[in-house]
Every structure is written in structure tokens, then in C-alpha cells.
Chain A
Amino acid sequence: MTLKVSLITPDCVLWDGPVEEALLSTTTGLMGILPNHAPLLTALEIGPLRLRNENKEWLSFAVMGGFATIKDNALTLIVNQAESGTSLEKATVEENLSKAKAALEEASTPADLIEAQIAYRKAKARFEATLPKS
């Protein structure tokens, strides 16, 4: 029994295929989805998305916020932007994360702070997407 997952960004369909398990970062916390899940609609946070494919391998994506619906064993993720973990280079991602962290600490005005926070969360999502599933 598998779950059909489509990860859709405004530009392209990043993933479309069967998986055995999906881990979503929703706005109310991490959520695991298995086949035969009840119909659900949830908002997604900026964070990592993990999918376990039929070969029991975990795939990671960095997802920049959006929505997920589950209906009839089909999980549809509609997101602002997403990147596959394998397309990210670990060294650059780590560097960007520390840069974003520094910018967050330096930010003074509210507008700067919001911007820095978003940048930090995106950098963190990318960083987590490069890590293997723990």
C-alpha cells in the first residue's frame, strides 16, 4: 500500500510518485502521514519534507511554506518554493545558515528582523534537507 505524493511549485512538479511514508513540517509541528490517512488539509511551515520511497530510502526536500491535502491516498503539496535535498551542496548550505544566523542577531529594525527571520528559516530548512533522516 502506497501513498501517491505530488509536490507542486509554481514553476514545476518536483516530485510525483508513490511513497510509503511522508513527514511534513506543518505550522503546528511535525506530522507523519502513512497510507490510508483520513482526509486532511494542513498549512506547511518553512521546513524539511521527508518522503520514504518504495526502496525504503528517505528523500529530503526543503519546502518554503504552502499547503498539503490528503484525500483518497493522494497527498498533494502546494508550496511556494521547494528544493530537493540532493541538489543542495552541504558546504554552501552550512555557510548560508551561519550567515543567516549572524544577520538575525544583527537585525535591529522590525522590518529587518522579519526579513532575517524568514531568511534564517529558509536556510535552516535547506540545511535540514541535506541531513540524513535521524
Chain B
Amino acid sequence: MQAIGGRKCTFVRGGANAAVAPSQAAVARRAGRTNRLSCKASLKDIRDRIGSVKNTQKITDAMKLVAAAKVRRAQDAVISGRPFASKLVDMLYGVNTRLRSESEVDSPLLDVKPVEKVLIVSFTGDRGLCGGFNNFILKRTEQRVAELRASGVEAELLMVGKKGAKYFNRRTDQYEVVRTFETGQKPTVKESQAIADVIYSKFVGGEVQKVELIYTKFVSLISSDPIVQTLLPMTPEGEVCDVDGNCIDAADDELFKLTSSDGEFSVERETSKLGEEGGFDELLIFEQEPQQILDALLPLYMNGTVLRALQESLASELAARMNAMNSASDNAKELKKNLTLLYNRGRQAKITGEIIEIVAGSIV
């Protein structure tokens, strides 16, 4: 283990100061390499260190198990939410094609206006200790804001999750944070509704002309991607999105390749699937005016999308925490092994030294 050289030297410095500056650590490591003796910690120090590493390992092990149990629950939530999302997309697609063939669609959520300001809704976790999870999202958000600014578009942020809220609230001079929410332990329709209400009023009120979601897509337990998805407006902009009534701005819509109904299909397959299932036949009776149906369908779709983003984000967070804690436990185990070796070596050396002293004394 490479870190051992550096770590060992920190014992001489007092042991407690784990956060050695990189340059210091490098110096210490060099010193350790050229003259090992200068880096000797007392046996008691090593013993204490082993004890503390052992305790840390117990904690990280427990956290891993907790995260594993929770990730299962979160995964179930994602899976049980899928029928709703896919049916809704089917329905929306059908209504949309019908409307397009019949008349001009006019719903506030479909309004494509020249974009001056974008609302970015970014989903982080409430807690840390989950590897790069929060950081990836924060970096992606910053990057997206920079991209928008470069093209002369303003951006404001709506943060979901304590970590993201904290990060951007410290940087209010650079970023405009409009609202913050907590992710919570179990996102339900209620939470997503609250977020969707804010988005809805912002967009329909004309404060922003586009709404984007940045969240971590749950791919599997070991892999998840931070993605940018356009939520509003819901109409395809020009030639970018041709078939799907719910998807927009495919150029930078990374989710598009995964579709909004299921994580597993590619664009082509999904759209053709929609064409088969979602296409209403000509005889379909609209009990209400199609316009009226669309007006009520779109908020439902929006809430569903926000809920899914919340669920996926939570599932990814827990999976990331599970992985982080797993490698932390592995590291602790490795560290413990090396320290024990060091300790035994030191102890043996001490005993040998004492024997030599006794033997030497008896000879004289």
C-alpha cells in the first residue's frame, strides 16, 4: 500500500493529524524512504491506531449494510413507479398525435418561447459519505450553468437535497438559488408535487422559458450517470424531436436515448414501441375536449417525471454510499493488516533487542 509510508510518518507527528497537506506528506514519505528509523512510532501508538482503524471499519461496515437495505427499498420504488410512467407516456403520445392532426395545440406547458432564463432543478442527496455522488451533480450543474451563460442565457437554480443547497447557498454571489428542498428518506407524490408546483408557477408565470432537470440516473448498483433532461416546455423544438410528444431538445437531452418511460430502451426502440401501443385508433372517443384532457394530463406527467427523478436520485445515492462504504471497509481491513504487521515486527525487534542485551550482559 502506497499510503503506508506517508501514514507511518504521521505517527511521529502525533498520529492524530490525518489531514497532512500533500507537500508535507511527500516530504515525510521521502524522509521515510531514506531513513526508516526516523519514522518509527512507538508500539503503543500503533496499537491505538489499530484500535481506531478497527472501530472505523465497524462503522463503515454498518453503514454499508444500512445503505444496502435502503437501496433495495429505493430500487423497488423505482420499479413500481415504472408502469405509471410508461402508461402515461403512451397516453400523452396518443393524445398529442391526435391533437396535432386535429388542431393547433395551445397549452401553457407546451409554450416554446425564446429562452432568456432557464430554471435548473438539480437533485443531490441530503448527506455525504457517498463517494462522488453529490460532487458529480454539483460539477454537472456548474458546467451546465457555464454552458448556458456562454450562450447568453441566464440560469437560476432550484436545489433538491441538503448537500446541493449548502453548496450553492455559499456561492450566491455567482448563482441564483430560488428555492431549496430536502430529498427526504422516501420520496412520495407529496414531495414531488411540492417541487412540481414551484416549477409550474415559475414556467407558466413566465419567469423562466425552459426548465431542466439534472439528476443521477440509476443504471445499476455499480453504475449511475448524472444526466441533464429538459422538462419544460414539452413540445419538440423544430426538427430536433420528431415523434415523441413528451421529449424536447434532443440535442442535449441525454435521457432521450434512454427514454422517459424505462431505463433500458434506446430511442428508436422506444419510439416505435410508443407508436404501436400509444397510437390511439381512429375510433377513440374523447369524453372531454382533447384540449381539456391535455391540460390535465401534462401536470400529471410533470409530477411523474419529478417523482421519478427524485426516486432515481435517491436510489443512486444509496448505491453510491454502499459502494463508498464497501471500499472504505476494504481499505480499513488492508490498513489494519499492514499496521498489525508493523506492530508485530516492532514488538519482535524489541524482544530481540532485549535478548541481545541480556546475552551480551551475561557474556561480560
Q: A66-B300, A67-B300 are in contact. Are A39 and B288 (CB under 8 A)?
A: no
Q: A10-B303, A81-B189 are in contact. Are A41 and B84 (CB under 8 A)?
A: no
Q: Which residues of B contact A28 (CB under 8 A)?
A: 287-288
Stretch from B67-75, B103-111, B291-299 at the A interface = B291-299
Complex CA distance for A92 and B255, rounded to whole angstroms? 44
Which A residues fall within an 8 A CB radius of B?
6, 8-13, 26-28, 31, 38-43, 65-67, 69, 71, 76, 78, 80-81
Report yes or no: B189 in contact with A43, Cβ–Cβ below 8 A.
no
Report yes or no: B296 in contact with A69, Cβ–Cβ below 8 A.
no
Report yes or no: A38 in contact with B287, Cβ–Cβ below 8 A.
no
Return the 7 tightest CB-CB contacts between A and B, nearest first.
Answer: A42-B287, A39-B284, A40-B285, A12-B80, A8-B84, A10-B84, A10-B307
Q: Which residues of B contact A13 (CB under 8 A)?
A: 80, 83
Task: Count CB-based A-B contacts (< 8 Å).
Answer: 82
Taking CB as reference atom, which chain B residue is nearest A42?
Answer: B287
Contact of A8 among B77, B87, B284 (CB under 8 A): B87
Complex CA distance for A9 and B80, rounded to whole angstroms? 9
Q: Which residues of A contact B304 (CB under 8 A)?
A: 10
Secondary structure of the B contact surface, majority rule: helix
Q: Which residues of B contact A31 (CB under 8 A)?
A: 287
Q: Which residues of A contact B94 (CB under 8 A)?
A: 41
Contact of A67 among B77, B80, B192, B293 (CB under 8 A): B293
Q: Which residues of B contact A6 (CB under 8 A)?
A: 83
**Interface assignment of B220: CB less than 8 Å from any CB of chain A:** no
Complex CA distance for A13 and B87, rounded to whole angstroms? 11
Q: A10-B84, A78-B87 are in contact. Are A41 and B285 (CB under 8 A)?
A: yes
Report yes or no: B288 in contact with A27, Cβ–Cβ below 8 A.
yes
Contact of B283 among A38, A67, A69 (CB under 8 A): A38
Taking CB as reference atom, which chain B residue is nearest A65?
Answer: B296
